[in-house]
Amino acid sequence: MHVSGAVTRPGLVTLPSGGRVGDAVVAAGGLARDADPDRINLARALVDGEHVHLPRVGEDVVTLGGPPAPAGTPDGAGNGGAGTAGATHDGLLDLNRASATELEQLPGIGPARAAAIVEYRELHGPFAVPGDLRGVSGIGEATFQRLAPLVVVR
């Protein structure tokens, strides 16, 4: 897992299968003093290769598709707000569920690149990890690094 934001030691952590966001936070050294853990579901099950970002108090996190899903929304439903297929409850965009319109909300992604992402997904199947975006025409390393904190694959 890639853990970023308000943790003591951000970076890559290894967890056993069945790990949860809270386990990833612990593996990254625990919460930083300015963490805002109420903005992320610490009990959510993780998927290999996922990026978890723990926001800081007052941090303006780019929220794609609206506010976090209300309490009681099943994890993994991919519903970050009304009418969104790709937005997740933690404000990330699921590359395997996002529409071209949702993808266009990402920095540096216009209609042509959004269409290329959707086409790549349709031709090659679902993305296995966010890094697979590098295989999409027009998305190089710099663009991927800009998008990595904002996307997830579920």
pTM higher than 0.75, yes or no?
no
**Beta strand ranges found along 10-140 (DSSP E):** 11-12, 51-54, 93-94
Helix (H) or strand (E) holding 130: none
Q: How far is Cα 30 from Cα 22, in angstroms, rounded to an integer?
A: 9
| pLDDT reported for residue 88 | 62
For the chain, domain boundaries = 2-54, 62-154
| pLDDT reported for residue 90 | 64
Kindly report the CATH number that applies to the domain delimited by 62-154.
1.10.150.320
The whole-number mean pLDDT for each consecutive block of 10 residues of the chain, a chain of 154 residues, reads 89 88 93 88 80 80 39 34 53 86 87 92 89 91 88 87
Query: Residue 139: which residues within 8 A CB-CB, separation 6 or more?
Result: 113, 116, 117, 133, 147
| pLDDT reported for residue 1 | 82
| pLDDT reported for residue 135 | 93
| pLDDT reported for residue 133 | 93
